Chains A and B, each alone.
Chain A
Amino acid sequence: MTETVEREVGRARPRKEDAHLITGQTTWTDNISVNGLLHFALLRSPMAHARIERVDVSAALERPGIVAAFSGRDLAEGLASMPCVWPVTEDIVMPDHPPIAVDEVRHAGDPVAVVVARDRYTAADALEAIEVDYDPLPPVLDLEAALAEGAPLVHADKGTNRCYTWPLKTGEDFDAVRQRAEVTLKRRYHQQRLIPNAMEPRAVVVTPIAASGEYTLYSSTQIPHILRVLMAMVTGIPENKLRVIAPDVGGGFGSKLQVYGEEAIALAVARRLGRPVKWTESRSEGYLATHHGRGMIQDIEIAANRDGTLLGLKVDLLVDMGAYLMLITPGTPLLGAFMYPGIYKMDAYDFTCTGVFTTRTPTDAYRGAGRPEATFAIERTMDELAAELGLDPVELRRRNWIRHEEFPYTAIAGLTYDSGNYEAATAKALELFDYDKLRAEQSDRNERADTVRLGIGVSTFTEMCGLAPSRILRDLRYVAGGWEAASVRMLPTGKVEVVTGTSPHGQGHATCWSQIAADVLGVPFEDVEVVHGDTKAAPQGMDTYGSRSLVVGGMAVHHAARKVVDKARKVAAHLLEASENDLEFTSGVFSVKGSPEARRTIQEVAFETFSSHDLPDGMEPTINAEHLLDPDTFSYPHGTHLCAVEVDTETGQTRIRSYVCVDDIGKVINPMIVEGQVHGGLAQGIAQALYEEAVYDEDGNLISGTMADYLVPSAADLPDFVTDRTETPATSNALGVKGVGEAGTIASTPAVVNAIVDALRPLGVRDIRMPCTPERVWQAIEEARS
């Protein structure tokens, strides 16, 4: 029997990642420099849509310090189309996507030429010497107009702007349910485009060894392993000659869950020149070139009885793909497809999603990826239904949610939620929020027609995360699997190396994986080092996204460490001349039951295995172990969020007065890290509700094109949060853990918008389009008044 004493799991360990980050001893990709390093810059299209008539780089080449310059056509040979790995339907339209445009540009910022110079200033200067003749084509910006007969086409050769239509119908027929419903409500919501804004702009460095055709690609990426496979395919560089390193990576939020043209261009240029090259985006360049998130129109219809019982839900989405299909562009809304019913029981669900090409920067995963949109739609609609029925919004939810004794529960969309306790999380949130008192204050202020109204917003959520069971991915037509790899190495000196296929960029994997391994092995936390983000050092992995790292990657570490103990037990039993069954293992020590003086530490066993002088017959001289984990199911965290806002009806200004969330993410490895994940998620979700939007003009120019025009909230724009947890362990893994990375983002947006609408409902306001800026709030009030 293996016993582990849980000394580490559950402990608020300050992170081992911090030391180099707070002292500036970092290795961001842009920090990397090697002898002979060249810098390249990209000339980007100033137009949303145009034919490229001519690109002339000759004048740039004549400038001092310019080593090379290429048009898209010059570089096209040897580069395949950029990959999309999620062809969601059989008849999906998959347009060609060259890493650098050749014949046509399809969004402002599409690259058309590259200059390579001895330093970054010289490269940037030379861009102005490149001549490009464009023949303008009409932009395609409106999702509904784009689908109309005779609309201008983003990809003329495809004959349509419709990328795909993906349906999901479960339970009863929705039309039948609608017939018998006492109430139906229809709403249209707009999920504005968002720019992810990881604080570290993207950067790429390639160091080639030309003679042997070997390349090392450093990239600010969330997915070094996936990137390696796909870059091998795009460039033709054999996979075993391509090493990908994700050094320190400064945030991602999905924007670095991507395979970018600049990565292919860097490899192509390094291959041409046989020299190391670097590219680093400026922030405003990144706003055009790094994928955006969200961007959809949601038509929602809900059917219910007058007592509030939900009967069915119909969802029709039009999703802005942007100009090209990036890595998982078409699949991103499908990650939400199963979540529109949320935590509620109903009889019918009818979902349709249509992807539409536009002449804008491509969209793809952004924190939550499909699930925030789904949660927004159902939670906003639940509030509307509550208002329609004259029910308290919490009461309406209570009447419909899955009760804790009903788990495991197969929800209407077909997923089986393993565990949850919505009652407990909601009760705790209501108490922390002082819900009844705030309601009383609200009604008092409404009665005296206060110019500053109080609004209360509630949002519950669950999500499918922990991506993902490979068989389900197959059924959804995603081309890869969802497993994760870990190996645990006991070094001769008793120190431990944990090799993980996850690729952290702020999440604290080194700390948490150390906590997990230390507990299983019974070694000090400080003795564990975590190796990641380098395909040579951590050769197998599926990387980090979709709140998967702990529930798949961390669990793989747990299982690999258990295998180490199992192997060590054999050695220890041999050395102690005892039967394996007679050994106890506690806090890193094997001892013989009944004779505690007969003992070996696991570190001693590691050294004995290294020397291999006295191992059991036939045993390989190692206690190291590897584990590849393919999860059986998704992870289903949940929570209840409550937001109180004060809305000045004369200025439209919204102030968040209090924000309470109680999340249930099962068992927690490090509560301090969990709290930080929730805080950051809340900030991003609130930012969607109040501040952020990628705005395009009628010609397809991004007019929120710099950080001065796109409001990433500062400390002064956000409140203090009250965060708490309930703990309903997952039943799908041995540690009972669930994902947390996206939770805060998913629930907070509807909580805030619900609160604003709740504040203004007495004035006749029924909805406000995000972001709920003072101008929009004021306009909504004025419209309701007239």
Chain B
Amino acid sequence: MTHITVKVDGTTYEDEVEPRLLLIHYLRDRLGLTGTPIGCDTSNCGACTVELDGESVKSCSVLAVQADGGEVTTVQGLARDGEWTGLQRAFHERHALQCGYCTPGMIMAARDLLRENPHPTADEVRQGLEGNLCRCTGYQNIVRAVLAASEEGVTA
């Protein structure tokens, strides 16, 4: 067991974890933060994307011990006092989700994209979200939502 200290969505947690424990399982099974789902076992789908120290990561490909001393933001930590972020609003208004399973990861990946490239073209959005799979929307409304958020100056 390894002792870790991780700040998740603003709260600091200290835990003893198996070194092999994946960050996603730490979030879901130990902390009960089930807002971030798991969609595959080969790091292809991106459903489990979170931010670790300001960078988006697929939390199925990070060990909990690697997050020791770090700060994690999940989709559950985005809204402030019930106020959605610009990306969350854009996803809602542009119908960028259907079943919603990929949505937490998609929103976290889109945040990362807009941080690095605040005014992407549609093609850049498509390339930038390549690591996040959606089976419902055909992506068109996701692209529209990210572009709309970008136009409104949203970067987070």
Contacts and interface: CB of A to CB of B under 8 A. Distances in A.
Interface of A: 14-15, 17-19, 21-26, 28, 30-31, 33, 119-121, 197-201, 248-251, 253, 282-284, 505-508, 672-673, 675-677, 679-684, 706-708, 712, 714-716, 718, 720-721, 744
Interface stretch (B51-59, B64-72, B90-98, B148-156): B90-98
A199 B102 contact: yes
A680 B100 contact: no
A707 B45 contact: yes
The 9 closest A-B pairs by CB, nearest first: A24-B35, A21-B100, A250-B101, A506-B99, A679-B138, A683-B138, A506-B98, A31-B34, A283-B40
A659 B18 CA distance: 50
Contact of A676 (B18, B37, B39, B98): B98
B16 interface: no
A377 B95 CA distance: 33
Nearest to A28: B37
Contact of A721 (B33, B84, B140): B140
A251 B136 contact: yes
Contact of A17 (B20, B100, B107): B100
21 contacts: A21-B103, A23-B35, A23-B78, A24-B35, A30-B34, A120-B25, A200-B99, A253-B135, A676-B137, A679-B139, A679-B140, A680-B135, A684-B135, A712-B44, A712-B45, A712-B133, A714-B130, A714-B132, A715-B134, A715-B143, A718-B140
A28 B34 contact: yes
Given A23-B78, A26-B100, A28-B101, A201 B18 contact: no
B44 A707 contact: yes
Given A22-B84, A24-B35, A199-B101, A679 B74 contact: no
Given A684-B135, A716-B129, 11 more contacts: A21-B97, A22-B100, A24-B104, A120-B25, A121-B18, A121-B25, A251-B99, A506-B98, A706-B42, A707-B41, A715-B132
Contacts of B143: 715, 720
A251 B135 contact: yes
Given A14-B93, A505-B99, A718 B129 contact: no
Contacts of B32: 33
A709 to B, nearest CB: 8
A714 B129 contact: yes
Interface residues of B, number: 59
Contacts of B36: 24
B95 A673 contact: yes
B92 A23 contact: no
B5 interface: no
B43 to A, nearest CB: 8
Q: Is the interface of B mostly helix, strand, loop or mixed?
A: loop
A33 B31 CA distance: 12
Contacts of A284: 40-42
A708 B130 CA distance: 13
Interface in B88-133: 88, 91-93, 95, 97-104, 107, 122, 125-127, 129-133
A502 to B, nearest CB: 15
A24 B122 CA distance: 26
B62 to A, nearest CB: 16
Contacts of B135: 197-199, 251, 253, 680, 683-684, 712
Contacts of A714: 126, 129-133, 139
Output the residue of B41, B45, B84, B141 with the most chain A CB within 10 A. Answer: B41
B35 A26 contact: yes
B17 to A, nearest CB: 11
B125 A715 contact: yes
A128 to B, nearest CB: 15
